[in-house]
Amino acid sequence: MKAVRYDSYGSPDVLKVVEVDAPTPAADEILVRVHAAAVSRGDCAFRSGRPLFARILTGVLRPKRHTVGQDFAGVVEAVGADVTEFAVGDRVFGGLAFFGHGSGTQAELVCVPESAPVAHIPDGLDFVEAAALGDGPFNSMNGLRPARTMRGRRILIYGGSGSIGTAGIQLAKHYGLHITAVTDAKHIHLVRSLGADAVIDRAQEDFRKRGERYDLIFDAVGKLTFGHCRRALVPGGIYLPTDGLANALWWLATKRFGSRKVFFEIPRYNKQLALDIKQLVEDGEYRPIIDRTYPLDKVVEASRYVETGQKTGNVVLTI
């Protein structure tokens, strides 16, 4: 089968589409023929080997894992002996934690544990849309955990037009928050359509200088730190990062000092994530946003585009 592989850290040029042996499902796994797979910011970070401290987990000099991709949509081709939830022919979507599974999803076939964040594709979605139900929603659900019990509070979402940002706005709306989104001028209509109550054009105005204070600040693009945003939080407010060693250090510091806190935890990849986003789609409260699609053999070009930081919603490989 064809799969995307890399043997050393580096630019998108290290990615190669190669022939590898097809996997065989274990007793508790399903074998999925992948029809679409997302290309995420996380995929690019793992491939580049940055930040450097992450190599403690991914491999110091060379990557321990050589296959690429975390999110997928496809059709069940075979099931292990112990599988009860899925059958051959089922349309499924899901995501795999990078450190928790050996297979990458940017491939023709992938084995997925039945207990992983995998679920049936909601009616009405095609494979490309379903492949976009992993990265943004899963990361936003993890990052916005404190928001679930803060109905009526004010949240600022920095970077409202990417995969995590478009998901974060829709989830914050579902949680009943008042949303201010920071984005580019060309995305203002989009973020309003997703549920933002107010929008700030980041090229025209610095949200930190507006004098407004928020109960929550969600950095959906990993470009800020708690130190930059602290004064824009109300006393008792919470900063929600999606990236950054500095924010991990702030998390440790604010656990003991100050009223404003950083919520920074390792994402939880579990079955409930997939089931929750499936339900939101079926209830009409969530829709995936697709920017571009590329065929599998154009994975280098797709990764380059993701790394520009200019994508709107999701970039998806078709297989």
Read off the CATH number of the domain in which 109 is found.
Answer: 3.90.180.10
Same domain for 169 and 116: no
Q: How confident is the model at residue 277 (pLDDT cuts 50, 70, 90)?
A: very high
The whole-chain average pLDDT of the chain stands at 93
> Where is pLDDT greater, at 207 or 49?
207
Please tell me whether residues 84 and 205 are part of one structural domain.
no
Q: What is the arithmetic mean of pLDDT over 268-290?
A: 95
Q: What are the tokens at 114?
A: 């039945």
In a domain, 281, yes or no: no
Q: What is the mean pLDDT of residues 128-141?
A: 96
User: What's the CA gap between 230 and 242, in Å, rounded?
Assistant: 16
Q: Is 226 found in the same domain as 154?
A: yes
Residue 70 domain-assigned (yes or no): yes
pLDDT in tens, 81-110: 999 999 999 999 999 876 555 579 999 999
Q: What is the CA radius of gyration of the chain?
A: 19
My answer on whether 109 and 213 are in the same domain is: no
Q: Judge whether residue 131 has pLDDT over 90.
A: yes
Residue 154 sits in the same domain as residue 115: no
Note whether 170 and 186 are same-domain residues. yes
Same domain, 195 and 83: no
Domain span including residue 296? 2-133+288-318
pLDDT score, position 248: 75
Judgement on whether residues 19 and 87 belong to the same structural domain of the protein: yes
Instruction: Give 52: exposed, middle or buried? Use CB within 10 Å, 0-12, 13-18, 19+.
Output: exposed
Instruction: Please determine, for residue 177, whether its predicted confidence score (pLDDT) is greater than 60.
Output: yes
Domain-located, residue 276: no
- Residues 118 and 19 both lie in one domain: yes
Query: CA-CA distance, 93 to 32, in Å (whole number)?
Result: 9
Q: Is the pLDDT of residue 250 over 80?
A: no
Q: Phi/psi zone of residue 176: left (φ > 0), alpha (ψ -120 to 50 degrees), beta?
A: left
How much is the pLDDT for 279? 98
Closest CA to 157 of 195, 203, 193, 209: 195
Local confidence band at 258 (pLDDT 50, 70, 90 cut-offs): confident
Based on the structure, what is the number of domains in the chain? Answer: 2
